[in-house]
Amino acid sequence: MKLEDVLAAKGRRLVTVSAKSSVADAIRTMHAEKVGAVLVPDAEGCPVGIFTERDMVRLYADGDRDFDRLPVEARMTCSLVVGRLSMPVDEALGLMTERRFRHLPVVEDGKLLGLVSIGDLVKIKLEETAQEAQALRSYIAS
Ligand code: AMP
């Protein structure tokens, strides 16, 4: 199973905000879209940064509370780790576990194609495991 299959199953919906958006706008977007991260692409649709719930927690703990004036670009993570369509799900899970983040943008030729979360990958793995268990049960029974 590859990230291409995960995107095919969940769709390529991308929740984005512009770099100049306020942190307050990013939070409202995450709440309205029911996601834990927003991506910040440039004008060409290339990934520039990511802002997640974890960044929000850090921001709040730092005491920076002027969310309406603070631009997202000031607090997003710019050194993005990305996956490709051909990346196996197990490799993506390993990468996210090792690097301690829960979101992986999928990029091909510099273009943002989608985003997978650790929840998307765990869901796919659970389905795969259930199918394997069923196949084994059928094999043993036959
Ligand atoms: P998360 O666990 O995804 O909420 O993110 C934890 C931290 O890692 C936050 O500071 C995010 O901005 C950052 N982060 C999340 N996803 C990525 C990624 N794919 N590449 C680099 N940093 C990331």
Grouping H, G, I as helix, E, B as strand and the rest as coil, residue 77 is strand
Q: Report pLDDT for 2.
A: 96
Helix (H), strand (E) at residue 6? helix 3-10
The range of the structural domain enclosing residue 88 comes to 3-141
The answer to whether the CB of 2 is under 6 A from ligand 1 is no
Task: Give the ligand 1 atom nearest the CA of 52.
Answer: 4
Task: Please name the residues in contact with 138: beta carbons below 8 A apart, sequence gap of 6 or more.
Answer: none
CB-based contact 120:106 (threshold 8 Å):
no
Q: What is the pTM of this model?
A: 0.91
Q: Which two tokens stand for residue 29?
A: 């977007």
Q: 101: CA distance to ligand 1 center in Å?
A: 5
Instruction: Identify which of 76, 79, 59, 69 has the alpha carbon closest to the alpha carbon of residue 17.
Output: 76
pLDDT (tens digit, 9 = 90+) per residue, 21-73? 999 999 999 999 999 999 999 988 888 999 999 999 999 999 988 999 999 99
Say yes or no to pLDDT of 117 above 90.
yes
Q: 91: CA distance to ligand 1 center in Å?
A: 17
DSSP type of residue 66: -
Say yes or no to pLDDT of 12 above 90.
no
CATH of the domain at 102: 3.10.580.10
Q: 13: CA distance to ligand 1 center in Å?
A: 18
pLDDT (tens digit, 9 = 90+) per residue, 77-102? 999 999 999 999 999 999 999 999 99
Q: Report pLDDT for 90.
A: 96
Q: How far apart are CA 93 and CA 74, in angstroms?
A: 28
Look up tokens 């670009």; give the residue: 73
Strands 37-41 and 111-117: unpaired
